[in-house]
């Protein structure tokens, strides 16, 4: 019984999350520049080239964010699924199959709660196993971070959907300015979400390392108890 290595997957997921966070900060700043441009447009002091450059910059950053968000999501789900797979090798008492750690993100309605349930189960069951095998184990407080992670995830996605649906059709400067302000807020909201996601990954990675130590301890114990014949 061996746990599959998951540390590098965690590092890759964290790196991509930090890249996404930086891109969102850049996008918020780009939105700010657009807001300033719209203010100048109201005053009639914007040239066509300035407006064209703004649109090109916004579209370019948006395309990069879409591509990188897909890559980041893939790396996170790879880590998440491997973590759940490893836990499955240590206990038969988990509520869901390993495939749900990936599939639950893509099923409407279910993706509002199932990934959260699996994340909680990762921490709860790993803590229980470690406590049973290494008495006196005190896991770091994780519930507040897991709850905050999921609350921010839901809020960010709901806000993004609302902002998209309420996108103005009139094309008036006031509507564009309001849309831009929403864009700044939604981009900056990704910063705390990124930070708390990294925290959750790091917390569980530490716990997974302890799990791996318990597995090695069991293997060594079994080996030492096996009679050796000359």
Reported confidence tier of residue 178, pLDDT bands at 50, 70, 90: confident
The per-residue pLDDT for range 55-112, each reduced to its tens digit, is: 999 999 999 999 999 999 999 999 999 999 999 999 888 999 999 999 999 999 999 9
Spatial contact of 90 and 130, defined as CB atoms under 8 Å apart: no
CA nearest 152: which of 110, 199, 107, 108?
A: 199
What pLDDT is recorded for position 169? 63
Give how far Cα 41 sits from Cα of 5, 48, 91, 122, 180, Å: 55, 10, 63, 53, 14
Given a cut of 70, whether residue 210 has pLDDT beyond it is yes
| pLDDT-above-70 percentage for the chain | 89
Tokens describing residue 182: 């929403």
Given a cut of 80, whether residue 227 has pLDDT beyond it is no
What pLDDT is recorded for position 62? 95
Q: pTM for this one?
A: 0.89
Domain segments of the chain as ranges: 7-222
Radius of gyration of the chain (CA): 23
Spatial contact of 15 and 198, defined as CB atoms under 8 Å apart: no
Cα–Cα dist 23/185, whole Å: 14
Tokens describing residue 102: 């990936």
Reported confidence tier of residue 221, pLDDT bands at 50, 70, 90: low
Mean pLDDT of the chain: 88
What pLDDT is recorded for position 20? 98
What pLDDT is recorded for position 175? 84
Neighbours of 158 (CB within 10 A): 11
What pLDDT is recorded for position 16? 98
Reported confidence tier of residue 166, pLDDT bands at 50, 70, 90: low
Residue 204's Cβ-count burial label (10 Å; 0-12, 13-18, 19+) is buried
Cα–Cα dist 11/83, whole Å: 13
């Amino acid at each position: 019984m061996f746990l599959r290595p998951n540390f590098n997957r965690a590092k890759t997921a964290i790196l991509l999350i930090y890249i996404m966070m930086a891109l969102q900060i850049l996008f918020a700043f780009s939105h700010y520049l657009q807001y300033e441009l719209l203010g100048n447009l109201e005053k009639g002091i914007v040239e066509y080239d300035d407006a064209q450059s703004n649109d090109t910059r916004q579209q370019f950053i948006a395309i990069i964010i879409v591509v990188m968000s897909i890559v980041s999501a893939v790396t996170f789900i790879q880590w998440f699924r491997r973590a759940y797979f490893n836990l499955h090798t240590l206990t038969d008492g988990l509520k869901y199959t390993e495939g749900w750690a990936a599939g639950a993100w893509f099923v409407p309605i279910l993706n509002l709660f199932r990934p959260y349930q699996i994340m909680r189960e990762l921490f709860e069951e790993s803590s229980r196993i470690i406590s049973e095998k290494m008495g006196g184990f005190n896991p770091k407080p994780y519930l507040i971070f897991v709850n905050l992670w999921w609350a921010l995830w839901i809020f960010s996605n709901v806000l993004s959907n609302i902002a998209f649906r309420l996108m103005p059709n009139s094309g008036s400067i006031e509507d564009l300015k309001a849309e831009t302000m929403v864009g700044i807020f939604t981009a900056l909201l990704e910063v705390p979400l990124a930070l708390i996601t990294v925290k959750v990954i790091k917390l569980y990675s530490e716990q997974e390392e302890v799990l791996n130590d318990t597995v090695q301890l069991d293997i060594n114990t079994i080996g030492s108890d096996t009679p050796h014949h000359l």
